[in-house]
Amino acid sequence: MPEADLNRSKSRCYFTGGGPELIYNERSDVSSGPMNILLAGVNYKTAPVSFREKLAFDYDQMVSALRYLKVKYSDCGFVLLSTCNRVELYCSVARGSELSASDLVTELAGIKKYGDCAAVYDAFYCMNDRDAVCHLLEVASSLDSLVLGESQIIAQVRDAYYAASRVGATDKVLNRLFHCAFTCSKEVYSTTSISQRRVSVASVAVYLAAKELGCYVGKKAVVIGVGEMGELLICHLKNAGCNNITVVNRTIRRSQLLAERLGLDYVSWDDLSKAVAEADIIIAAANAGEVIFDSSILPEGDDTKKVIIDIAVPRNFEASIGELDNITLFSIDDLAVAASDNMQARKEDIDLAREIVNDDADSFIDWFGVMDVGPVAGRLRDKFHQMAEDELRKLYSCMKPLDETSRQQVDASVKRLVNKYLHSLVNGFYQHAREVDPHTVIKLMEQVIEQEHRGKQ
């Protein structure tokens, strides 16, 4: 179709698939009218982990929140992103709606039962339209991460989008926006050297421990939690020269399987205190949802230097443990020191990546500004082709019958002629919509359709 071809050529972020829940149709998935994009978020730059952990969502909580929001605001679309470093709610809303980005902050605080509203509003950032688009593209491309180029964020953004798609919380605008973010991330990683020199949160955690202890030779490490982050930590520890690693998990079978695969030791959860007492490095990455360790986990009277790195959100270790003698406790926010060095070393990469983000944001905004023209252009196209079919029917009724081959040739020739003129006409409508006002163009197109309808009557 001419209008689809035009959209595809004008935007680098045109998608038709990527998995069952990602497929959507530009013509059928029609918005109800002009839209705005809202964003309310909090991250490691605006709030400490002690604040963020109270607003963190696990998968079930995320799904429940999305369903609640979709029921309350049925005409809006939502995607909720919750990671160790951020909680962000993206929303598409009809232009002119009273729902604002600050209202999203109130909703998130209410869902998490966070009492101090003043603190919530101070910590959250609110964005609209292009600012929100650029922010998501930077997040997905790991330009807004605590550690530049960290490899987990794009998977986390995808998971957040998948979750929203599965419960029917997204719409045409957010579908397009998140697909654009996926492609932008891919382009940043393939065009810059971020993918070759990326540094994960896990690697920075291991770097901090080595900085405190000098080296890993002869040191013993305990890793609490055997999820994806736990496994990443283990790989970085081994690469750094730490060969004495014990894994601990609430489900001992998972610890056993990982230990057998990577050649590690493992202990049961009941033996965790003993393992901690013997360890020099304790790294916590358990998805517990709350603080699960206080000072009682440490042996009394032990003056051995220990480094505890708690990268879980909510945190696994009580913050007061860091005040004990011979204990150095790092939270995920402490990784910012190493991350700043990483950022400075990659300034050229960052500049190039931001150019890509801005180009893709422009492409999305270009589509976003005229997206309501598409459905009306489709109706105009259908109307023109219906007119051509009506005229052909009249022509065939008053002339000698044609053989099937000749009739098909005439039909195809007329169809090509209509498409040729439609392409030029619709192209002009889109160009005028971009330069002037899409809603004026829509009214004009609707008048053309209505005039033809009246003419038939």
Question: Which residues are catalytically annotated?
Answer: 84
**What's the DSSP call for residue 121?**
H
Task: Name the token pair of 387.
Answer: 């007119």
Give me the residue label for tokens 């050229």: 348
Cβ-based neighbour number of residue 411 at 10 Å:
14
Distance (Å, whole) CA 78 – CA 91:
5
Give 438-454 as a DSSP string. Answer: HHHHHHHHHHHHHHHHH
Q: Which segments of 59-111 does DSSP mark as H helices, in order?
A: 59-72, 101-111
Q: Are 424 and 6 in contact (CB under 8 A)?
A: no
Q: Which segments of 308-372 does DSSP mark as H helices, in order?
A: 336-345, 347-370
Closest CA to 365 of 88, 141, 39, 36: 36
Instruction: For Cα atoms 421, 427, 430, give the angle at the middle one, nearest 5 degrees.
Output: 145
Identify residue 100 by its one-letter amino acid code.
Answer: S
Closest CA to 139 of 91, 184, 190: 184
Q: Are 154 and 185 in contact (CB under 8 A)?
A: yes
Distance (Å, whole) CA 133 – CA 430:
22
Tell me the sheet residues that pair with 150. none
